[in-house]
Amino acid sequence: MIYIGSHISASKGYEAMGKQALKLGANTFAFFTRNPRGGKAKEIDEADVARFLALAEEHSFGKLVAHAPYTMNACAAREDIRKFAKETMADDLMRMEYTPGNYYNFHPGSHVGQGTQAGIDLIAALLNEVLKPDQTTTVLLETMAGKGSEVGRNFEELRAVLDRVECKEKMGVCLDTCHVWDAGYDIVNNLDSVVEEFDAVIGLDRLKAIHMNDSMNPLSSHKDRHEKIGKGQIGLAAMERIICHPKLQGRPIILETPNDDAGWAEEIALLRGFSEK
Ligand code: FE
Ligand code: FE
Ligand code: ZN
């Protein structure tokens, strides 16, 4: 069974997202918990959530992979920006409990010159304030391309954050194929050793979701420019090997490719086909 989907607009509510996912041939999806640039989240409509939960169960959806606003910076140098990140994540996690047991993915942050170690400490400190032992949501750190001063540009940095979090069982990692490629992990020629390295440094039990994107740029470019599946430097053959890799099975796969609905439907069908071969 493969769980695959794309990002879907949250503007019309949960049931609308579920229906849109079905239209694309998806059985999971990602959505921004609020405007990706931040701002106030929409009021939760419990009847809408209930209709969505019924639909997701009826169609055997996999776990959803919600995405925090990408402006959120848990390791900013300015205290007011960190406070905003903390309040945003706390509010998002409270809202996530309306759809229990899913994933909440966020970009660890940019240390903006404070240094990687300071960044790691600030991210873990924020998580330790926000995570609740009774929450049902698992929070995912996303692997990053290493653009600017991003924390999470290698597996060791993510491991260092995880090591400092108290509620470890509420944490996981989302592997973004474009980001790890841009960060220097050669998933085209050495997928097996990248998977082994992930397992050795972080542990594959911590790998909860995959963002599947091709990259416009070469290995180690640290750029983070997504490309359509098979149209970039990673290529379709490598995508097929990722989909079929025995150690990567069972995780929800989310497309963040520059596409319209028809493009996503096509990519979902294409990748689903690989898994059914
Ligand atoms: Fe992301
Ligand atoms: Fe991503
Ligand atoms: Zn990206």
Of the listed ligands, the closest to the CA of 146 is 3
Is pTM beyond 0.85? Reply is: yes
CA 174 / ligand 1 centre spacing (Å): 9
Of the listed ligands, the closest to the CA of 179 is 3
Mean pLDDT, residues 65-72: 95
**Confidence band (pLDDT; 50, 70, 90) for 21?**
very high
**How far apart, in whole angstroms, are the C-alpha atoms of residue 261 and residue 254?**
14
**Confidence band (pLDDT; 50, 70, 90) for 251?**
very high
**Confidence band (pLDDT; 50, 70, 90) for 102?**
very high
In angstroms, how far apart are the furthest CA atoms of the chain? Answer: 51
Mean pLDDT, residues 143-158: 98
Write out pLDDT tens, residues 75-100: 999 999 999 999 999 999 999 999 99
Give residue 212's pLDDT: 98
Give residue 42's pLDDT: 84
Of the listed ligands, the closest to the CA of 105 is 1
Which residue from 268, 256, 182 is spatially nearest to 30, judged by alpha carbons? 256
Q: How many CA atoms lie within 13 A of 124 on its CB side?
A: 19
Task: Flag whether pLDDT at 31 surpasses 80.
Answer: yes
Q: State the average pLDDT for the chain.
A: 97
Angle, helices 116-130 vs 155-164, to 10°: value is: 40
Task: Flag whether pLDDT at 225 surpasses 80.
Answer: yes
Greater pLDDT, 88 or 41: 88
Write out pLDDT tens, residues 154-173: 999 999 999 999 999 999 99
Of the listed ligands, the closest to the CA of 147 is 3
Give residue 196's pLDDT: 98
CA 156 / ligand 2 centre spacing (Å): 18
Give residue 46's pLDDT: 97
**Confidence band (pLDDT; 50, 70, 90) for 40?**
confident
CA 224 / ligand 1 centre spacing (Å): 10
**How far apart, in whole angstroms, are the C-alpha atoms of residue 209 and residue 212?**
10
CA 105 / ligand 3 centre spacing (Å): 12
Of the listed ligands, the closest to the CA of 211 is 2
Greater pLDDT, 39 or 151: 151
Mean pLDDT, residues 176-204: 98
Which residue from 114, 39, 38 is spatially nearest to 76, judged by alpha carbons? 114
CA 153 / ligand 2 centre spacing (Å): 13
Task: Flag whether pLDDT at 121 surpasses 80.
Answer: yes
Burial readout 148-184 (b: 16 or more C-beta within 10 A, e: otherwise): ebbbbbbbebbbbbbeebeeeebbbbbbbbbbbbbbe
Give residue 252's pLDDT: 98
Task: Flag whether pLDDT at 230 surpasses 90.
Answer: yes
